[in-house]
Amino acid sequence: MRLLGQNRLDKFIKKHSAAKNALNRWRKLIAESDYKNIVELRKTFPTADYVGGETVFNVGGNKIRTITLIEYGIKQVLITHVLTHKEYDEGKWKE
């Protein structure tokens, strides 16, 4: 899958350096994948949820939320937000 918005991962890692390994592992798994739908995606990421038109991943032992727009037909993942669990729960990303 083509991964767009990686600068959001890098920005989050600069602020939360402990997240580096988990986010880089997630990045690698996504980039090397070829998912055709969310059912296939959940074989690798069983906790991925579809929320408000976006796919939300729990990363780093449920400490980080990576929110994406996925276009399976063109094999593209756009990272829209990378948040801590607390930031995600505040729900401002939905606005």
State how many domains the chain has. Answer: 1
- The structure's pTM equals 0.92
What is the C-alpha to C-alpha distance for residues 84 and 81, in angstroms, rounded to an integer?
10
What is the C-alpha to C-alpha distance for residues 86 and 32, in angstroms, rounded to an integer?
29
pLDDT, tens digit only, all 95 positions of the chain: 999 999 999 999 999 999 999 999 999 999 999 999 999 999 999 999 999 899 999 999 889 999 999 999 999 999 999 999 999 888 878 77
Structural domain harbouring 8 = 2-94
CATH number of the domain where residue 71 is located: 3.30.2310.20
User: Tokens 């074989």, residue?
Assistant: 43
Displacement of CA 57 from its chain's centroid (Å): 5
Which DSSP helix (H) or strand (E) runs through 41?
Answer: helix 38-44
